[in-house]
């Protein structure tokens, strides 16, 4: 990959937000409050803008579906308005348009080879982070016990979401290279790990390439759809404070009767502690904590696909994965 300063690709900074439509918006509204998001603004019966407690003005947009519930794409913040102007010249791109979301700003929407929307945004007004009272735990180990006379106490309830971190999509069988080339030649995405099935690449985890600056192990990933499966979004992930907060969020979601997909466990690739749930529309959303950071010097992994590549510990891998 080229050095960042010589890179002609659209330069990404960070994740911004994801957008979905829901056939039952009212049910989705309650679910995402229980999931730990906060409503920043809403247009009743039309659209709801959720945020976390970080600086992003919006991390999840829920729209009223015209028919079936649909994934409407992930949005990534670009380095400057010049990058939006470059993006608007990509074949199939929209012109630059104003964002009608909290924080404002401008955007260009691209369409990848599988038909998924990728939104590039710039100029959003950041909010002042509003962190809940969440302590950074002091851990006592067998040979070192720095926590003396103090206790670990975490209040129950939803797991407060910090930000949206990544999303992944399933592409039609046979499109791996086309999808990988599109995301790594048009945008500053770079592989972190590649999974192989029958010696052919099938899944790739992509980080935002900022040169020597460390970024999340993956902000996006592509995976092959299963035979006879309609390609769709895989899941969207949201970062929470730590393992304890995540576990209490798990307990809260379970108590509300929501449908667990997989968790809690520890991933192998990316190292995140994961907890996957189905939302009321059947989409999978994840709480995660403690993920890896990578940069241009991190060696790209090449690993056979299979259950052992998905988790270090946790429940048995479900059919969904």
Whether residue 113 is contained in a domain is answered as: yes
Whether residue 140 is contained in a domain is answered as: no
User: What is the chain's percent helix, strand, coil content, to nearest 5?
Assistant: 15, 40, 45
Return the pLDDT at 1: 45
Global confidence as pTM = 0.94
Whether residue 149 is contained in a domain is answered as: no
Return the pLDDT at 184: 97
Give 163's contacts (C-beta < 8 A, 6+ positions apart).
Answer: 15, 52, 54, 56, 59, 238, 239
Whether residue 145 is contained in a domain is answered as: no
Whether residue 1 is contained in a domain is answered as: no
Report how far residue 124's alpha carbon sits from residue 99's, in angstroms, rounded to the nearest whole number. 9
Under 8 Å between Cβ of 277 and 259: yes
* CATH classification of the domain holding 275: 3.10.180.10
Whether residue 41 is contained in a domain is answered as: yes
Return the pLDDT at 5: 57
Report how far residue 184's alpha carbon sits from residue 44's, in angstroms, rounded to the nearest whole number. 39
Query: CB atoms < 10 A from the CB of 113, how many?
Result: 14
Whether residue 19 is contained in a domain is answered as: yes
Whether residue 175 is contained in a domain is answered as: yes
**DSSP labels for 235-267?**
EEEEE-S-HHHHHHHHHHHHHTT-EEEEEEEEE
- Number of domains comprising the chain: 1
Under 8 Å between Cβ of 216 and 207: yes
Average pLDDT taken over every residue of the chain: 95
Return the pLDDT at 2: 47
Return the pLDDT at 254: 98
Report how far residue 290's alpha carbon sits from residue 6's, in angstroms, rounded to the nearest whole number. 32
Tell me the two tokens of residue 269: 């690739």
Low-confidence ranges of the chain (pLDDT < 50): 1-3
Domain assignment of residue 244, given as a range: 8-126+159-313
Return the pLDDT at 227: 81
Tell me the two tokens of residue 148: 């003396």
């Amino acid at each position: 990959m080229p050095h960042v300063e010589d890179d002609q690709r659209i330069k990404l900074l960070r994740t911004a937000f994801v957008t979905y439509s829901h056939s039952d918006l009212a049910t989705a509204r309650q679910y995402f409050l229980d999931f730990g998001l906060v409503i920043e603004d809403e247009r009743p019966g039309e659209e709801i803008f959720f945020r976390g407690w970080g600086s992003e003005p919006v991390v999840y947009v829920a729209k009223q579906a015209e028919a079936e519930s649909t994934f409407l794409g992930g949005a990534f913040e670009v380095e400057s308005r010049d990058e939006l102007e470059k993006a608007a010249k990509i074949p199939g791109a929209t012109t630059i348009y104003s964002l009608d979301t909290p924080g404002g700003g401008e955007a260009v929407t691209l369409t990848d080879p599988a038909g998924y929307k990728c939104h590039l945004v710039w100029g959003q007004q950041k909010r002042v982070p509003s962190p809940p009272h969440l302590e950074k735990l002091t851990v006592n180990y067998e040979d070192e016990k720095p926590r003396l006379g103090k206790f670990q106490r975490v209040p129950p309830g939803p797991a407060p979401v910090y930000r949206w971190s990544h999303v992944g999509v399933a592409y039609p069988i046979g499109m791996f290279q086309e999808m990988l080339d599109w995301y790594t030649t048009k945008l500053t995405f770079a592989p972190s790990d590649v999974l192989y099935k029958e010696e052919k690449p099938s899944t790739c985890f992509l980080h935002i390439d900022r040169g020597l600056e460390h970024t999340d192990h993956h902000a996006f990933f592509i995976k092959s759809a299963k035979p006879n499966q309609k390609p769709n979004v895989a899941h969207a992930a949201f970062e929470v404070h730590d393992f304890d907060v995540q576990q209490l969020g798990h307990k809260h979601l379970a108590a509300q009767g929501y449908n667990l997909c997989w968790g809690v466990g520890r991933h192998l690739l990316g190292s995140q502690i994961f907890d996957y749930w189905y939302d009321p529309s059947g989409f999978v959303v994840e709480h995660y904590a403690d993920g890896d950071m990578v940069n241009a010097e991190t060696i790209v992994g090449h690993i056979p696909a299979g259950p052992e590549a998905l988790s270090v510990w946790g429940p048995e891998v479900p059919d969904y994965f």
